[in-house]
Amino acid sequence: MPRPRAIEKTLDRLADIATRSLEQLRALGVDHAEIAVGSGSELEVGVRQGEIELVKEAGSSGLGVRVVHDGRVATSSTTDFRPESLAVFLARAVEMAQVSEPDALAVPPSPRALVKEWPDLDLFDPATDRIGAARAIKLAISGERAALRADARITTSEGASFGRSSGCSVLATSGGFLGRSAGTYQSLVVQAVADDEGGKKRKGVHWTGGRFFGELESPVEIGKEAARRALAQLGATKMPTGRYPIVFDKHAARAIVGLVASCVVGDAVYRHRSYLAGRLGTAIASPIVSFIDDPLVPRGPGSRAFDGEGRKVRKIAVCKKGVLNSYLLDTYSARKLDLRPTGSASGGGGVPHSSTSNFYLMPGRGSPEALLKGIERGLFVTRMMGFGFDATTGNFSRGAEGFLIENGELGHPVSEVTVSRNLDELLRGIDKIANDLEFKTSIAAPSFRVDEMTVAGS
Amino acid sequence: MAARKSALTLGEAPFVSGPQAIDPELAQRLLSRALAQGGDFADLYFEYRRSASLSMEDGLVRAAGGGIDMGVGVRVVVGTAMGYAYAESLDPAEMMRAAETASQIARAGAAVAPVAIAPRRKGKSVYPVEHPLVDLEGAARVELLRRADKAARGHDRKIKRVDASLVAVHKEILVVTSDGVMVHDVRPMIRISVSAVARRGKRSESGSSGGGGRHGIDYFDRITPEAHGIEAARVALINLDSRPAPAGTMPVVLAPGDSGILLHEAVGHGLEADFNRKRTSNYTDQIGKRVASPLVTVVDDPRIAGSRGSLNVDDEGVTPREHRLIVGGTLRGYMHDRISADFFRMKPSGSGRRESFRHVTMPRMTNTLMAAGQDDPIDIIRSVKRGIYAVKYSGGQVNISNGDFVFSLTEGYLIEDGKLGAPLRGVNLIGNGPAALRSVSMVGHDFVLSDGMWTCGKDGQSVPVGVGMPTVKVDQLTVGGTAV
């Protein structure tokens, strides 16, 4: 879908600012520079008990720069685009570089590595910006109403909110790259609350979101599901401490895949902040596990047509049938590790760093329900809490909520327990993967099963 | 060493000095526009933020950063509803447009006139800074990191890698409200972080240390960069000898200082009045009731000199005071912003905070502390037959509605027969806020304020906070290790 004319005009204006800024930096004698200029607008509404709580609407813009001067790096940002202010700002950035130390590895991609053409990934929905406050409020109210009406045991709601944002950005580098991009996103969240024994409340949260408004699920379905989740947790208790098979539903599974993502980016690897450092070409997971990073998913939440340094991007099999095949590398981390860059830089206009785009665990064949089969006693995890992960060692332990699994079926709700195992062992213990992958988030996973983890409870 | 002394009293932000300075008359016009369609009140929040940062990787200053961010947020409140917009400049036309956008929340009501503005005289700052770190010349800031780096490396040959960073911020705010308040505040902030990786054979472990607060350069006279470097190295080395933590329910002794994040997560958030106004907190309707062991007294104190969470004035122009949340185990009050205070017919407690001018205010914690008790910390550890001694944390989280919290340790030990034993790895503590506070059985006399490290996240907004507590024994918490 072609972008609206107004957006192209904004992009022209941003490209002009970026190009002029680069010229000024060249005149100041820098070795290299990248400029990222962006502008966007957002609307956020919140309702609770059918009443409006918040309407927030604003436009914002910003310019970020990285300069390399005599091998020294500085970064800065501003929202003041007046030509005289920009001139002062750029001169200061160059001055600031003197504080750094020469870094032989801080070099841009060679001009040959810069991409000249890229595909349109269909990331901009012209309908997004047209959603006004009144319509947004209606959507939120209907989501909340569906939750409140779903069941008499839903006593209140923490509200529902709808947000939309759209943004344009231009990345320009002194190596000659000029990339324009624009994207939109919208989401609706409903939070239903049910009262439980002993003054406890159970909150159920559900949401929908995407780059295109037309792809959102209906507010009523979101509200009903939020209510169902709150009710399902009523009466939750701890379960006895022990070792059990664990099934992570797709939401909880995503959190685990996010930890893997944080350990395959080049920055973590060269800083020794990844237990996967030095493991290329070796088995890091069970043979049914493959992790993919794909920047080119049309309408993908984490999609990008070029990377933060202007390199070509491609789909990468990070882990293939259990074997670690590639890290995700920007120019700097690739040089540090003596590997080839993979076009995985983000953060143009700041210090570029390696990052995932759309990172996911490849789905298997069976349904999520089939994962429960054959489990005599185990835990089905629907939600995790806390930050219990040490990337250097892979040690993992987080708070968990979910349901007991008994004789292959879901049973009593469980809360206030932890699930623990080193991530390296956990990935090797994955013995079944379901087919319910969806690209709602930039890190995504289908439900999967782990042969055994330690549950700490009563 | 170049330090601008004038910044202390006058401020450098363009909205308080120079041709773009906001005078009461312009502020009044903006507020009138904001209330043109009605509303209970409106406010303007001007913010200016100048920062300077450095990151050192493996002994090399990899990047210097910094910049200025400035803008104004306009809010219109009607009952519990809020209209919000912001402008990223002081251009009168743009500010007026923001005021108009915010005014839309009050649909077609009668215009309300703001009260005449009386600029408030400033009292004594709880975080006066004579020599701001943000103005210290680059080479001198690099030297601070270099000292930390060298100390960490020199501590032991097993330290293989050190990374460090230093961030300094000079922030000024100006709040103007439709009930006549106009108040300016200068809010310095510094933060140093050091992390170290130790290796022995094939095993790698990391450790970190950091601190800061609303201080100037003098912070490093009291707590040297070397101290942070050595501390990061010490934790990494200890973790080289750590063994799998037990799993199950047992007594936990919380070391003084950083353990205050237990309070922050286990009770603090549940006492923020917005959750109670919405009746979604497990502390809803509990005021006057026993919610903790009689040994427990918890306060939120915004007036601790130089602490990370301290405020001279909150982000709604209210002068904050110390609030006693739990006294001798009984719940005394919530933390309020203007909206929740109005709802509960209370005075706002000065707890209205926001991340920046791009964000709306909410009731938030400042420095959340547990008062010291009578017990000797040594006796507390001695009283435990088998349990955990929890020292350092990477973070915590709470589910406000059911009160369940979890927090993760980066340094912890087994206690066996009243003595500290082996260091443990991968310890996670999970519990329920009210249940955990009811099972507090000993409170030490050794209160410690945590050195400024903590940032609290709520609804996508981050604000700096302080925590502190004495040694505390909790009779029963679930320890999430791997060893059964």
- Give the length of chain B: 484
**pLDDT value of position B280:** 80
> Contacts of residue A425 in chain B, CB cutoff 8 Å?
none
Average pLDDT over residues B443-461: 93
How large a percentage of chain A has pLDDT more than 70?
A: 100
- pLDDT per residue as tens digits for the range A286-345: 999 999 999 999 999 999 999 999 999 999 999 999 999 999 999 999 999 999 999 999
Provide the pLDDT confidence category of residue B10 given band limits of 50, 70 and 90: low
Report the greatest alpha carbon distance in chain A: 73
- A121 and chain B: CB distance < 8 Å anywhere? no
Task: Find which of B275, B278, B477 to mutate to test the A interface (most A CBs within 10 Å of its CB).
Answer: B278
- Contact of B216 with B162, CB cutoff 8 Å: no
Cβ-Cβ contacts under 8 Å, B358 against chain A: 58, 60
Radius of gyration of chain B (CA): 24
Burial class (CB in 10 A: 0-12, 13-18, 19+), B17: middle
| pLDDT tens digits along B298-342 | 999 999 999 999 999 999 999 998 999 999 999 999 999 999 998
pLDDT of residue B320: 92
What is the SS3 assignment for B425?
strand
**How much is the pLDDT for B7?**
37
State the pLDDT at residue B109: 66
Return the pLDDT at B231: 97
Q: Which amino acid is at B323?
A: H
Tell me which chain A residues have a C-beta less than 8 angstroms from the C-beta of B66: 76, 96
For residue B254, give the H/E element and its range. strand B247-254
Q: Is the model's pLDDT at B257 over the cut of 70?
A: yes
- Most B CBs within 10 A among A137, A454, A458, hence the mutation to make, goes to A454
Tell me which residue in B60, B70, B428 faces A418 most closely, judged by beta carbons: B428
Alpha-carbon distance of B418 to B457, in angstroms, equals 37
Q: Tens digits of per-residue pLDDT, A42-81?
A: 999 999 999 999 999 999 999 999 999 999 999 999 999 9
Distance CA A16, CA B94 (A): 23
* Chain-chain contact of A386 with B395 (C-beta, under 8 angstroms): yes
Residue pLDDT, tens place only, B411-430: 999 999 999 999 998 789 99
**pLDDT score, position A1:** 67
Query: Which positions in chain B touch A418 (Cβ < 8 Å)?
Result: 247, 406, 428, 430, 478, 480
The encoded tokens of residue A446 equal: 């289908």
Mean pLDDT of chain B: 92
pLDDT grade for A248, boundaries at 50, 70 and 90: very high
Chain B residues touching residue A458 (CB < 8 angstroms)? 249, 478
Residue-wise DSSP of A295-315: TT-TT-TT--SB-TTSBB---
CA atoms within 13 A on the CB side of B399: 27
Q: Which one, of A175, A171, A437, A207, lies nearest residue A304 by Cα?
A: A171
CB contact under 8 A, B247 and A456: yes
